[in-house]
Structure 1
Amino acid sequence: MDHTDAPGLVLSPTARVGDGVVFGANVVVHDDVIIGDGVRIQDGAVLGKPPTLSPRSSLRSADGPGPLVIGAGAAICTHAVVFAGSQLGPGVIVGDLAVVREHATVGADTVVGRGATVDPRSTVGARVRLQAHVYLTAFSTVEDDVFVGPGAVTTNDDTMARLPEGRALQGATLRRACRVGGGAVLTPGVEVGEEAFVAAGAVVTADVPARAVVMGVPARVVRRVPDAELLERGPWT
């Protein structure tokens, strides 16, 4: 159904809706949201939600979050929340109950899985797969073609709320085509190199070299990713 007959739709008069957009029931679209052509928005989704931040939060912005922009052909699934000030590229899928926070950028054809969270000031590239319940912390960078398994967690504050004044939070950096297994934990500021492989349940406390396979607590290099598994040796499903 389009926005003329979607039951319970709350659509701001300042929102811009492209051609062929389909709304489910009880969708809320806040001010200044820009929705590209052919976007599908399922039941109960909230688009352009303004952030509510502590007065002491390092994520506050003096000029506000700005508009939410959703690229053509994207899909926002049931009860997902996408905040004001974020940008979703064409073909992005935001799964059921997932959250994309303000000032986050998600590249074309990326999947944000069910219940996953992309925190503020994070940048996610194209064709990335963030599986169910992944937590991508603020100030993280994920390059193109990365896979992050279900329940993996990144962190950005090794003091746990005792950060000295003037010291910045440090998210994770996941380089092109690396793979992070389910339930892995990445400590603040670590980098996982291009085409590296982090085993399920690993705790990564140091940078992972390109094409290294790491596992364990703490994670250690055990071998090298073979040529046959490299991204360019696909196609892969």
Structure 2
Amino acid sequence: MVLSPRSKLGRDVTRGEYVVIEEDVEIGDDVEIGHHVIIRKGVRIGRGCKILDGAVLGKRPAKASLSATTADVQRFDPLVLGEAVTVGAGCILYVGATLGDGVFLGDQATVREDVTVGDQTILGRGVTVENKVSIGRRCKIETEAYITALSTVEDYCFIAPEVTFTNDNFLGRTEERRKHFGGPTLKKGARIGANATLLPGIVIGEDALVAAGSVVTKDVPPRTIVVGTPARVLRPVPEEQLIENQVFYDGDTQDQKVKK
């Protein structure tokens, strides 16, 4: 194991074989670190986290010559994990990402730089979250979903397996495209069915539902079900399915601030 003397470990931190912890890392109490884990310079890990075998924390981005969204500036805030975060085997988490308390990442998930993930959100196995993305609290993003750069996912959203977000209507041609980059926005409680594709810049309204396999080419009204290619309005979301009527719903962040 390689442990920099310039890093700080809390009480009862367990470490597997062949772990590398670089300088200026801070690890809280009761953290479990598996075998072959690499923790790069400056990472912050909260109390009670679990980092499973082969994970890489604090990776720095590499900019390809034709990359349109990766920043040229190589200065990023540290990767920060809140309390009780689980990082699955083989995950890669970049610098400049912040994960809230209780976040769960399945094996081989990737979270790029300039990303925030809210408390108690689940990212399933093989999920890819590109750079400059905001994901709210208590979301569930399932296996192999792809969240493209410059997207927003608000609280309580559900994204089924192999959903694809897109952010470039020009498909990599002409310099005009650089003025229009932007991924989809999912408002609170929106749900996206398996294998759906969301085109750049569209807004999925609060508590709306996109059926499996749909291709969404324009904004979806709140509390509305859309289906097909291209997606069209089918009917309203049933009252009993609305997020406000679910047992796990505890209000949004603003509601909680008002109550306090």
Stretches (4+) displaced over 2 A? 2-5, 55-59, 163-166
5+ long unaligned stretches in structure 2: 1-11, 250-260
Instruction: Provide the residue aligned with 1:26 in structure 2.
Output: 36
Q: What do the CA deviations read for 1:186-219 (whole angstroms, capped 9, x no partner)?
A: 0111110000000000000000000110000000
What one-letter code is carried by the residue in structure 1 that aligns with 2:203?
Answer: E
Q: Structure 2 matches for 1:48-59, cutoff 5 A?
A: 48-57=58-67, 58-59=69-70
Contact 1:122 1:138 in 2 (8 A): yes
Q: Aligned partners of 1:186, 1:65: CA distance in 2, in Å?
A: 29
Contact 1:157 1:163 in 2 (8 A): no
TM-score, with structure 2 as normaliser = 0.87
- Select the residue among 77, 92, 102 that pairs with 1:66: 77
Q: CA deviation at 1:14?
A: 1.4
The worse-fitting range, judged by mean Cα deviation, of 128-137 and 9-18 is 9-18
Q: CA deviation at 1:65?
A: 2.3
CA-atom RMSD in angstroms:
1.5
- Describe the shift of the 1:5–1:206 C-alpha distance in structure 2 as closer, same or farther (beyond 3 A): closer
- Describe the shift of the 1:4–1:22 C-alpha distance in structure 2 as closer, same or farther (beyond 3 A): closer
1:110 matched to 2:121? The reply is yes
The worse-fitting range, judged by mean Cα deviation, of 48-57 and 224-233 is 48-57
Alignment: residue pair count: 236
Instruction: Provide the residue aligned with 2:192 in structure 1.
Output: 180
Instruction: Provide the residue aligned with 1:45 in structure 2.
Output: 55
Q: Aligned partners of 1:236, 1:5: CA distance in 2, in Å?
A: 35
Higher-Rg structure is 2
Kindly indicate which of the two structures has a greater share of residues assigned to helix: 2
Instruction: Provide the residue aligned with 1:149 in structure 2.
Output: 160
TM-score, with structure 1 as normaliser = 0.96
Q: Structure 2 matches for 1:195-206, cutoff 5 A?
A: 195-206=207-218
Instruction: Provide the residue aligned with 1:227 in structure 2.
Output: 239
What one-letter code is carried by the residue in structure 1 that aligns with 2:185?
Answer: T
Q: Aligned partners of 1:122, 1:61: CA distance in 2, in Å?
A: 17
What one-letter code is carried by the residue in structure 1 that aligns with 2:148?
Answer: T
Instruction: Provide the residue aligned with 1:81 in structure 2.
Output: 92
What one-letter code is carried by the residue in structure 2 that aligns with 1:44?
Answer: G
Q: Aligned partners of 2:116, 2:65: CA distance in 1, in Å?
A: 24
Q: Aligned partners of 1:227, 1:187: CA distance in 2, in Å?
A: 28
- Select the residue among 24, 33, 47 that pairs with 1:14: 24
1:214 matched to 2:233? The reply is no
5+ long unaligned stretches in structure 1: none
Contact 1:172 1:188 in 2 (8 A): yes
Q: Aligned partners of 2:82, 2:235: CA distance in 1, in Å?
A: 40
Q: What do the CA deviations read for 1:24-78 (whole angstroms, capped 9, x no partner)?
A: 1110000000001111000000000011112443321425222100001100010
Q: What do the CA deviations read for 1:103-160 (whole angstroms, capped 9, x no partner)?
A: 1110000001100001100000000000000000000000000000000000000111
Give SS of 1:20's match: coil
Q: CA deviation at 1:226?
A: 1.4
